Amino acid sequence: TPDNHVERDPRLIRLTGIHPFNVEAPLSDLYDEGFLTTKDLFYVRNHGPVPRVEDFEVLDWQFSIEGMVENPVKLTLRDLLREYEQFTYPITLVCAGNRRKEQNMVRKTKGFSWGAAGVSTALWTGVGLWDLLGRAMPKRGARYVCFEGADRLPNGYYGTSVKLNWAVDANRGILVAHKMNGEALHPDHGKPLRIVIPGQIGGRSVKWLKRIIVTARPSDNWYHIYDNRVLPTMVDPEQSANLPETWEDERYAIYDLNTNSAICYPAHDERVSLVEKGVEMYKFKGYAYAGGGKRVTRMEVTLDKGKTWRLANITYHEDQYRDAPDGETLYGGRVDMSWREACFCWCFWDLDIPLADLADAKDVMVRAMDDSMMVQPRDMYWSVLGMMNNPWFRVVIHKED
Ligand code: MTE
């Protein structure tokens, strides 16, 4: 395949054929790695072949900032390291198609079947997009920032855009990143340079970054228009090809993530023993996230399809660093307070349930609530691309007694 220069972990589960490479980890393995996902199990969403970049070419990798700016520039990764402050933040990336498999089971969408592991978290290091744009100086009337990658695809380069006001805000923390968990980027994750947008769907975080273009209008890239959208639910796969105006309607483009959660334990095929000697509880465990800097503030579990709920414990990424002296040492870079109050990282939840309570339960379902009191819905919103699926997550309890 065109990607035979890329090394990959055999535990990753392929969701499409051999090429392009689209994979997720087994859900319980993802959970077991903890808050930070290694490059080995980090989900991968590639639309085409991975650009081949040799190690000796990395520092000379060049990208441009152009369009509606006073000072257009061409910069190399070497320039970024020499001239700009480096930031390191823990950021969760989520593919907008996470949990699409459940949608495909109801009615086939145009997308492939992600389980619930199309989400991962890493420490990303890079320079602030706000700093770069501060130097380039957007002109009056500029409203969007487009990004373009180096991968060549059937419909041109991969590209998309986000709103300029988000991109110039340091508290939103958009990075032009060159490291993941302290190491140079792995080829599948954008070697040598990518955008990382906290709190938004992964599809906006362009890999193998070549161009940043400041514009008055959203990106006209094919992938911006025909991917990462939630079209109205009545648009069906056959009809959808003939609706250019619907696709181009920017109101249907996804930016912020929605509130979502999953159960990692028990796994879908796990047998829960109700009669293990000396064991009285089963620990249910999983993850949750919200978008746009919102925090998951509540996690609930039901054993009776939503008639009654139990409150689960939530652990945030910063809890594990509680005893560390300050942000400087945590992430080897500056982490300011405004950042720490926002939440751009998933959280983990757990709940011990007495085995006796499981005797009559057929399944377990969970839902998360965020700090704007938005709660995951009971029902699915089906749409033609199968994106942003976030109804209550359900696992059947297989018992062993
Ligand atoms: N950037 C480029 N250049 N090409 C791509 O195919 N895929 C996007 C985004 N950036 C993509 C890209 C999508 S849809 C997602 S979800 C994320 O990258 C996935 O990032 P990851 O593979 O590092 O997890």
What CATH number does the domain containing 92 carry?
3.90.420.10
Q: What is the CATH number of the domain that holds 332?
A: 2.60.40.650
Question: In sequence order, what DSSP letters do the residues of 36-77 get, joined into one string?
Answer: SPPTTTS-EE-SSPPPP--GGGGGG-EEEEEESBSS-EEEEH
pLDDT at 329: 43
Q: Is 44 in the pocket of ligand 1 (CB under 6 A)?
A: yes
Query: Among 220, 244, 240, which residue's Cα sits nearest to residue 232?
Result: 240
Distance (angstroms) between ligand 1 centre and the Cα of 23 equals 12
* Residue range 298-339, pLDDT digits in tens: 999 999 999 999 999 999 887 766 555 454 444 555 544 455
**CA–CA distance, 346 with 27 (Å, rounded to integer):** 14
- For residue range 297-307, what is the model confidence (pLDDT) as tens digits? 999 999 999 99
Are 199 and 156 found together in one domain? yes
Q: Which atom of ligand 1 is nearest to the CA of 42?
A: 24
Structural domain containing residue 298: 260-400
169 and 278 part of one domain: no
Same domain, 219 and 273: no
Of the residues 21, 39, 46, 100, which should be mutated to test ligand 1's pocket, given the most ligand atoms within 8 Å of the CB?
A: 46
149 lines ligand 1 (CB under 6 A): yes
The domain tally of the chain equals 2
20 found inside a domain: yes
Question: Is residue 150 located within the same domain as residue 265?
Answer: no
Give the number of other CB atoms < 10 A from CB of residue 174.
Answer: 28
Domain boundary among 190, 217, 252: 252
What does the pLDDT read at residue 1? 81
Q: Is the ipTM of this complex over 0.90?
A: yes
* pLDDT at residue 266, as a whole number: 95
* Domain assignment of residue 39, yes or no: yes
From the alpha carbon of 201, which atom of ligand 1 is closest? 16
147 in the same domain as 177: yes
pTM (2 d.p.): 0.96
Residue 181 belongs to a domain: yes
Q: Which of 252, 270, 303 is the last residue of a domain?
A: 252
> 202: Cβ below 6 Å to ligand 1?
yes
**Do 272 and 174 have their domain in common?**
no
Query: What is the SS3 assignment for 19?
Result: coil
Residues 266, 217 share a domain: no
Single-letter amino acid code for the residue at 336: D
In angstroms, rounded to a whole number, what is the distance separating the alpha carbons of residues 62 and 94? Answer: 27
Confidence category of residue 231, pLDDT binned at 50, 70, 90: very high
> What is the structure's pLDDT at 339?
56
Task: Grade residue 279 by pLDDT with cuts at 50, 70 and 90.
Answer: confident
**Of 252, 282, 314, which closes a domain?**
252
Mean of pLDDT values over 79-97: 94
CA angle, corner 29, sides to 28 and 32, nearest 5? 85
